[in-house]
Structure 1
């Protein structure tokens, strides 16, 4: 998407004057990188023997975890922000139209990033926040995507 298209695609930010201060503090504390789910996945990867890089800005979508020798990347997505469809992705009741448009943009951006990575020869994996609770299942998914630790399989 060109910068001109991105600018015209942005939504006008609402005033938020009617939102309670506690809710505004909560929402402003949410960060795009180094989230708790991301830390959990990184710790598990490290325990399993994998080594990786973080947040490569030269790749589409700035993947959370990058394995350059394997040409593999991992995104750790929050269910609400990236519209997983599970019980954690319920839309707020206030300003529903604004949230729908905002979150729809996130999904479109995610799809474009995944397509861009595949086009460049990278193999992406998306791990959802709700999938992190079962460490054994997550370890199997990671091992299947990455291959054995220490190898550089493409």
Structure 2
């Protein structure tokens, strides 16, 4: 996949992180989604516990969520534990939406134009979708492609007082 150097205000260059900001494009509420257009796909962080990637996926393309959580007041995170590889987990090519949602246990449900990836609720104090990995190069390095622009706020809301 190609990567343009100027992907807009919410993109990352390579696998570097997007800046955390409490107000993304003037939004102050987690009720308003943050959307990133990149590599012919639309990545949307709908809330702290839900994100989607919509577009066309070829054999070998990936879509993984990386979660941050607090368990008994201690911070933990996951890297590439919840997601799909097209061609392995989902028939290739795939056109549609990959949905990531925090839920009771891990799982993948495949429909004709939608894949739902349930991200485990890893922490006793809460879990958030901190970033998504959607580029093969980032997947190989174990790096996020798209940081949730409000990840810090989401983690602060569930963190110890």
The TM-score, its normalising length taken from structure 2, stands at 0.26
Greater percentage in strand:
2
Instruction: Tell which structure's C-alpha radius of gyration is larger.
Output: 1
The TM-score, its normalising length taken from structure 1, stands at 0.27
